[in-house]
Amino acid sequence: MNNLQEVYPEAVICIVDNNDSNLTLLSSLLKDNNYEFIVANNREKVLNTLQNISVDLILINLSLEKEKWQICQSLQSSKLTKNIPIIFMGNTHNEINQIQKLNIENFDNIKIPIQADDFLTKIKLHLQIFSLKKQLQSQNQILQEEILLRENVENEVKKHKSTLENLIENLPGMVYQSNHDCHLVMNLVSDSCYSLTGYQSQYFTQNQISYNQLIHLEDRKLICRQRQKALVKHQPFQLVYRIITANQELKWVWEQGKGIYCCDGKILAIKGLIIDITAQKQVEAELTKQNLALQKTETALIIVNQKLQKLAKLDGLTGIANRRDFDEFLEKEWRRLSTTKSPLSLILCDVDYFKNYNDYYGHLAGDDCLRKIAQTISKNVKDSADLVARYGGEEFGIILPDTSAKKVKKVAELIRTAIHQLHIDHCASDIRKYITVSIGIASIIPTQLDSSESLIAKADKALYQAKEQGRDRIVFFDNNDYKYTQTYLKNNNLVVLHSNGRWRQATLRKRVRCSH
C-alpha cells in the first residue's frame, strides 16, 4: 500500500456517506494511505461533483435504500460515470440483489464494521483494474489510428497499381527495364532511382553496379525464384523485400513487374516499378508492438480480476472461505444433489465462551485463536469436495456434499477432539480451562421443493441445543429429536457418549464417500 501513490499519483476516490462516524473512519484510512478523495452526502451533490471532477472509485454508504438505487441509476445512465467502479458498505443481500439488476460492471461490497486490511486491499485492486482499463482504452485509440494509417497506405499502393500501365513515367519510385537474368542488369532506369537507392541512374545502365547487389543477402535467392516462377508462367509478379542503399541504409521496397516476350514466348526483358515502402513497414512494426502491449495489458487485467475474485471468496482473518462463498457453494451443491438424490450434510461449529476469551486475552489473541481453529478444522476435513468457511464471528460452517449422517458425525467428532488437543488456554471459560467448541449437525437429501435454508435451520437448531445442554458437545438434528454426543480420546481411540447414556468406543477410520 505504501507505493500505490507512486503507481497511481492521480487516483481520486469519491466517498458518498451521510454517517459522520463512518465518514471520519473512511477519511482517516484514506489519508493515512495517501489517497486523494472527495466527499458527498447525498445524490444531488454526488452527481454535481462528478460532472466537474474525474474520479477513479466511488464508495457508497447511505441509510436510505431508495437513494442508493437512484445514485446507481444515474451513474449507469451517464457515459462519464458508467465504468467507474463502485464499492457498497454494509448492504443487505436484498439491496445487493436489487443493485446487481442494473448490471454494474465493476461492483463490490464491504461489510460493516470495516476491516482496514480488507478495505484497503479492495480499494487497491479496483484502482488497478480501473487504471488498466483506461490504459487499454488509450492504447485501443492509438491502435485504431495506426490501423487507419495502414489502410491509407495500402489504398495508396493500390492506386499506384491500377494506374501503372498508363502513368508509369510519372509515378514516384524507380521505373526500370532490365535483362532477363538474376543480376538484373538495367537497360533503362528512371531518375528517381537516386532517392531510392542513393545511386545515379548511370551506375546501373553502365553496369557499374547491378541492382541484385542491393537486395539484402537473406532475401536475394528467394526473390529471384519468385520472379522467375512468375515470368515462366507469363504472369506479372509482386515482390516485397529489403535493399541496402549506397549510404548503407536498410529500406523495404515493393516491386511490381512483368516480362516482355517475343512471338515465340521467349523472355526478352523485364520491366517494372520499385517503390519505397519503409514507412508502411514501420507502421506494421508499430502495430505489432501495440498488439503485444495490448495482449500484455489484457493478461494483466485477467490476473487482477482472478485475484479480486479469489479475494472476494476468502475470509481476511482466517484465510478460509467467507460467508459469501459459503452461501454460493451451498446453493450450488443443493441444486446438484437435488438431481442426484444424494445426501448433503452441514456442520455448524461455535467457539464456547469466545467473548469471554476476547475480554480476558485481548482481540489479537482472539484472532490468533480463530486462525488456529480454522486451520485445525481444515486439516480434519480432508476431502477436496468439502468446504470449510467462516460462517460469522466465532462460528464456522463445514459443507459436506455426498456425505451421509453417519459419516458427518465422525467428521464432527474428529474436529471436536482435534480442537481439544490444541489445548489453547481459556481461563475465562465456564466449562474447561482450554478452548472447546459446540457443534450442530444436520443431514438431508435435497429436493427441488425445499431450499438450502432448511438445512441451515436444522443445523442451527442443533447448535443451539448443544449450547443449551452445557456446550462442548455435538448435537445431531434428527426430525426434531435432538441427539448429542460427547467425545474423548482414550489410548488413541475415540470414546463416544451418546444421549442414551451408554458408552461405546470407536476407532477413528478414514472417511469414505457415499456412492449412489
Q: State the angle between helix axes of 116-162 and 278-312 in degrees (0 to 180), rounded to the nearest 10.
A: 160
Strands 474-476 and 437-444: parallel
User: What one-letter code names the amino acid at 127?
Assistant: L
Asked if 474 and 466 count as a contact pair (C-beta separation under 8 A), the reply is: yes
**What is the distance in angstroms between the CA of the first residue and the CA of the last residue of the chain?**
51
Query: Which of 326, 297, 298 lies closest to 312 in space, CA to CA?
Result: 326
Q: How many CB atoms lie within 10 A of CB 235?
A: 10
Task: Compute the chain's Rg from CA coordinates.
Answer: 38
For residue 408, the surrounding DSSP H or E stretch is helix 405-422
Q: Is the N-terminal amide bond of 446 cis, ω within 30° of 0?
A: no
Helix (H, G, I), strand (E, B) or coil at 474: strand
Helix (H, G, I), strand (E, B) or coil at 398: strand
Q: Which of 394, 395, 413, 453 is catalytic?
A: 394
Query: Which of 191, 197, 210, 174 lies closest to 244 in space, CA to CA?
Result: 197
User: What one-letter code names the amino acid at 333?
Assistant: E
Query: Which of 173, 186, 185, 244 lies closest to 215 in space, CA to CA?
Result: 244
Strands across the sheet containing 437-444: 387-392, 395-401, 344-351, 437-444, 474-476, 483-490, 493-498, 503-506
Q: How far apart are CA 39 and CA 29, in angstroms?
A: 14
152 Cβ contact list (under 8 Å, min separation 6): none
User: What one-letter code names the amino acid at 479?
Assistant: N
Q: How far apart are CA 354 and CA 200, in angstroms?
A: 94
Helix (H, G, I), strand (E, B) or coil at 292: helix
Q: How far apart are CA 53 and CA 440, in angstroms?
A: 53
Helix (H, G, I), strand (E, B) or coil at 332: helix
Strands across the sheet containing 250-261: 186-189, 174-178, 267-276, 250-261, 237-244
Dig out the grid coordinates for 210 from the structure. 547491378
Check if 394 is active-site: yes
Alpha helices in 260-391 (DSSP H): 278-312, 323-340, 354-361, 363-380
131 Cβ contact list (under 8 Å, min separation 6): 7, 8, 11, 56
- The residues that are catalytic are 394
